[in-house]
Amino acid sequence: MPPAHFGAQFERFEKYFKRGVIEWFEFRGKEFEIFITEVTAFPQAFAAAMPVYTQISAYPKVTVIDIGGFTADYLLIKNGQADLSVCDSLEHGVIIMYNQIIARVNSDRDILLDESDIDTILKGGHSCFSDEVKRIVNNTAQMFISDLFGKLRERGIDLRSGRTVFVGGGSILLRKQIEVSAKVASPIFVDRISANAKGYEMLYRASGTRG
């Protein structure tokens, strides 16, 4: 669950999935029916940081930032434990950045980009766009990251102290912009799209729960 909703909703979330049998479904040509006997919920961003837990567990303060499509979630880890009193979801996902870039390029160069064009430019891939278009895309993405870090600073989170773990597809896409920002020190990147799923498995096993 998103960390901002975990404390208040995890019990109802678990109860929802404890309904028992999930009606049959088909996957890759095979029919399945699942009977759920045990449910355990974990905070989303905390789970995604588990693949690098050995790198951060010794630090007294670690901030996890999960940049997704619609939101950017953040969570503080103190002495290896999630601190749910310092977490939230900001409406600052990459879809906002895409819209900003599309509007800026259309206004300045009268060219309509789509998300795949923007991804290609940000990843340094081959494209037919001019250097000026590429400059606008990269500069707008840099401003997007700077604005995100500014919003976190307004909430009392200074990414220049402690370690910061970046997870989620948006973090992978914007790694270059994050690394060159003067507003964050010593970033760690979890570059697996499946990091949350892997983290849930690790947390479940560590909890000793058995279904």
- In the chain, where the domains are located: 43-96+134-207
Residue 98 has pLDDT above 60, yes or no: yes
DSSP conformation class of 176: H
Q: For 47-59, write each residue's pLDDT tens digit.
A: 888 989 989 988 9
Average pLDDT over residues 136-140: 98
Side-chain half-sphere of 180: how many Cα atoms within 13 Å? 8
Please report, for residues 30, 183, 199, 210, the alpha-carbon distance to residue 189 in angstroms, rounded to integers and kept in the order given.
37, 16, 14, 31
Helix (H) or strand (E) holding 63: strand 61-67
Superfamily of domain 43-96+134-207: ATPase, nucleotide binding domain (3.30.420.40)
Cross-strand bridge partners of residue 26: 31
Q: For 29-74, write each residue's pLDDT tens digit.
A: 998 888 888 888 887 788 888 989 989 988 999 999 999 999 999 9
Task: Report the C-alpha gap between 127 and 120 in whole angstroms.
Answer: 7
> Mean pLDDT for the chain?
90
